[in-house]
Homo-oligomer: A and B are copies of this chain.
């Protein structure tokens, strides 16, 4: 009886699996990229799919030993965790403290140096997959239906190609949209599409357009020189002799779907392609009730409401001087302040400010008493603020944070400050401005409405297209023919050259014919005259 029951359960499971269950392979990634990947994977598991995540042994953010609904596949990296940690610290130090005091050229050279090291490390992780016979055998036997990857880590396109399975990217952006433009073939006229990280908006004057144009060009040259040269030569080892393209960019262009983790609530509208799906705010969700002690503190703010203040998880301490300046500014506002901070409490801390080691950020942002969000400008926090319609004061630190906050400033929901030159008065005034100038709240509510007023939630849309790729073995019908053209064919330069040559030939023949006729006539006349 029990045996029959078990068989029945197995049968039901098998049938369910047959209907819903796909076999999803997930490429490793790091930091906020991993945070953004997780909700998709959770939803895929909810939908009955099996999710296998590759995790390099030297990963800083992915923890393959924590209990999870995903199946983790450990990959032996040729690097150690210690080396990775040291590099991360070096990168943060450069981004937050050194950059400010460097000349542009010096800064760029140092950045390129760090970029090279990062790429070397990334290929060290990749060694653990493609150079390991054991891992590759497991992947080949895994019968995966789709590979889901953030292209920030190279290698996924190579493995998808070797396994012969569809590839779905999840991308926030790449520098100057380089991958999206070059490999995804998405059009991005520099006249109104500001390069990612250029610190420009879509409303550019002449000089900004010149800068944007140069920014695109410089990124393209640098990435060609550093990134593609290295990655192409790495890939060619595996693909030479197969007759397949050994250009990594060409392989990336075979991706079936690009899930772009932004939307027109955050980004500026721009041209897209049928296989580019904008799913910004994939991790956003409604607020849950607050823990009792936090709720009590929040309620004690009365009509003035609260301000949430966090500089992200990378900044654990600031100088005593900065700490005091910040605390004294916060002490001057009528709101209660919840400050997420792991350092020692500053002396000037006001009675309205409470320091927390950890805060339930999303639940606080969704609380009706929340008046403003003071943030370092990480994209996940900003998206939560958009979701709940909260105005922001931004103090960007590094990476994409200035880029993100410039978007929010342009959309009228944030005031931007600089931590290095910040004064208590400026800080206090900025918070008062976004709370008291009604336009900030109105704009925040408008963005929130844009975010919510969509046929599908970002998460549902992302999952839909991954499942589509599983159901249909990719999404070839969404792929533009531009992928098959060279750059001069794409821009019709060969057609231009031909038409120009044709016109010049016709003009030349016409002139020659005219001059011939003229000579004939004049010659005859001269002859007649001389007769």
Contacts and interface: CB of A to CB of B under 8 A. Distances in A.
Contacts of A187: 187, 189, 271
Given A203-B481, A477-B264, A456 B455 contact: yes
A421 interface: no
A265 B274 CA distance: 12
A229 B481 CA distance: 35
A interface, size bucket: 35 or more
B453 A471 contact: yes
Contacts of A490: 189, 191-192
A202 interface: yes
Contacts of A190: 492, 495
Interface stretch (A165-173, A205-213, A350-358): A205-213
B450 A455 contact: no
A213 B450 CA distance: 38
Interface string A469-503: 00110000111111011000111101100110000
A269 B480 contact: yes
Interface string A172-203: 00000000000000110111100000000011
Instruction: List the number of copies, as a whole number.
Output: 2
Interface stretch (A52-60, A86-94, A460-468): A460-468
Contact of A186 (B271, B472, B495): B271
Contacts of A162: none
A497 to B, nearest CB: 11
A481 B201 CA distance: 10
A481 B273 CA distance: 18
Contact of A264 (B210, B265, B274, B464): B274
A449 B472 contact: yes
A448 interface: no
Contacts of A202: 480-481
Given A190-B495, A264-B477, A455-B461, 16 more contacts: A191-B485, A191-B489, A192-B480, A192-B481, A192-B485, A192-B490, A202-B480, A203-B484, A206-B495, A206-B498, A210-B495, A214-B499, A264-B274, A269-B275, A453-B471, A455-B456
Sorted nearest first, the 9 A-B pairs with minimum C-beta distance are: A192-B481, A202-B481, A269-B274, A187-B187, A213-B495, A269-B480, A264-B477, A192-B482, A271-B271
